[in-house]
Amino acid sequence: MIDRDLLWRCVAPYGIEADSLLADRLDTYARLLVEWNEKMNLTAITDPVGVTVKHFADSLAAAPLLPEGAFSLIDVGTGAGFPGVPLALYRPDCRLTLLDSLNKRLVFLEAVCKELALPVTLIHARAEEGGRKPELREKFDVATARAVAALPTLCEYCLPFVKKGGRFIALKGPDADREQEAANKAVSLLGGKVVSSITLTLPAQPEPDIEPMERRLLRIDKVRPTPPAYPRPSAKIAKAPL
C-alpha cells in the first residue's frame, strides 16, 4: 500500500537506508490502519501518500534523536501508534510502551503489534495519571509525543515518565518556536533542559502533487527529577498551564 520509493526519499536525509523488512512491516501496518479505520476513528489520513509521508516519514524523522544502544521508550497519547511503533520497528533494540486514554485504540495497537511480532506494553491511562504511578514514573529512557497538546502542557504530561539522563522528543508543527518560548518555565520546573530544536520539511525535496509540511523536532533532556507535585490533575493543568 505505501509508496516505498517515496518513503526512502523522505527519510534518506535522516540517515535511514532502504530496508525491505522495515518496508514490509510498515506496509502491513498501513493496511491494518486502513482496515480498522473503517470501524473506528483512528486517523483522517488513509491514502497511500498521506500515510507514507505524514505518518511514517514524520515518525521516522525522530530516529536520529534516539539514544545509542538498547533503550526504553514510552509514546504518550500514542493514538494510532505514531511515532512509537514506526520508531520501534526501525530500532529493534527499543523496549516499547504505548500509552493512551482510549482503550479502543489500544485494542487496535495490540492487533497491529501482534501481526508485526513487535513486543509492546500497552497502558490504558491518561498521561497525567500514568505519570504519578510508581511503576511508570521516571522509568523510561525516552518519551515521545506527537499532536497531543501545546508544549507547556505536553512537558507536564511527558517529562515525569523520563528518568534522569533520559530525553523527551516532541514532534511539533511550525508553531513550535512560539510554543518553546512559552514552555521555558515548564521545562525547567519539571527537570528538563532543551538541547536541540530541529527544523525540517517533509518531503525534504519537492515531490509532484505533494504539499510540503514544516516540522519541528525538540529534544528535551531530563537533568533533574520532576518535583513530586507534578503532573497535576487534569483540571489544574487545563486551568493553569505551566
Which cell is 163 given? 528518568
Q: What is the pLDDT of residue 178?
A: 84
What was the pLDDT predicted at 108? 98
In angstroms, the CA 191 to CA 220 distance is: 10
Delimit the domains of the chain by residue range.
Answer: 69-239
Assign 166 to helix, strand or coil: strand
Mind listing the pLDDT tens digit for each residue in 189-234? 999 999 999 999 999 888 998 999 999 999 999 999 999 999 999 9
pLDDT single digits (tens) 140-161: 999 999 978 899 999 999 999 9
Which pLDDT does position 176 carry in this prediction?
82
Q: How high is the pLDDT of residue 31?
A: 97
Domain range 69-239, its CATH number among 3.40.50.150, 2.20.25.10, 3.30.390.10, 3.40.50.2000: 3.40.50.150
Which grid cell is 181? 518560548
Please tell me whether residue 140 adopts helix, strand or coil conformation.
Answer: strand
| Alpha-carbon distances of 116 from 31, 160, 166, 211, rounded to whole Å | 12, 29, 27, 31
Of residues 100, 104, 102, the one with CA closest to residue 121: 100
CB 26 within 8 A of CB 86: yes
For residue 192, give the nearest of 232, 129, 142 by alpha carbon. Answer: 142
Provide φ and ψ at 193, rounded to 5°: -150, 125
40 vs 158: CA distance, rounded Å: 26
Can you give the length of the chain in residues?
242
Write out residues in the chain with pLDDT < 50, as ranges: none
Inter-residue contact 234 to 128 (CB < 8 Å): yes
Determine the residue type at 116: L
Instruction: Give the pLDDT score at 157.
Output: 96
Model confidence, pTM: 0.96
